[in-house]
Amino acid sequence: MSLSQETITSIKETIPFINKEVESVTSRMYEILFTKYPETKPLFDATTGDQHKKLAGAIGAFAANIDNLAVLGQAVEKMAQTHVKTNVKPIHYPMVADSLITAMGDVLGSDFSEAHKNAWVEGYTFLANILMQREKELYAQN
């Protein structure tokens, strides 16, 4: 599976808005995640406090490299390793998707159209599938 040109173009349109508000989007995402899905909170127990910055960076890198995802290879491996260490499972991915997309809508307002939303759902799902696949392999090795 790969992302359509239409999806890539739509995600790219949101990059300037996200870059401007990336810290707000990420903070709002965690607020929604921990309120709506409190079962995800213990996964972050051992975090160092700069998780917001890491995730914000990952979102930006993903959007910036959306038409050249190969450059994200190393970052994907690091994310998968960290996720396995902190016991992230496939069941958690839709929770983060819901929280992230809702947060983008909350923070970006009318700059985040229905088409942008659909494109981000597709883009997130694409990356989530790559991560879940790698994490499945890593869990099987443990």
Give the separation between CA 32 and CA 39, rounded to whole angstroms: 12
Cβ neighbours of residue 108 closer than 8 Å, sequence gap 6 or more: 14, 17, 18, 21, 25
Among 4, 9, 35, 86, binds ligand HEM (CB under 6 A): 86
Pick 47 or 109: Cβ nearer ligand HEM: 47
Residue 95 and residue 28 in contact, taking contact as beta carbons nearer than 8 Å: no
Query: Using the rule CB under 6 A, is 48 a contact of ligand HEM?
Result: yes
- 71 CB neighbour count, 10 Å cutoff: 10
Which residue stretch of 3-11, 15-23, 37-45, 133-141 sits at the interface with ligand HEM (rule: CB under 6 A)?
37-45
Among 72, 88, 104, 107, binds ligand HEM (CB under 6 A): 88
Q: Which of 90, 91, 62 lies closest to 3, judged by CA?
A: 62
Among 13, 24, 43, 98, binds ligand HEM (CB under 6 A): 43
Q: Which residues bind ligand HEM (CB under 6 A)?
A: 40, 43-44, 47-48, 51, 54-55, 58, 78-79, 82-83, 86, 88, 92-93, 96, 124, 127-128, 131
For the annotated catalytic residues, the residue numbers are: 93, 135
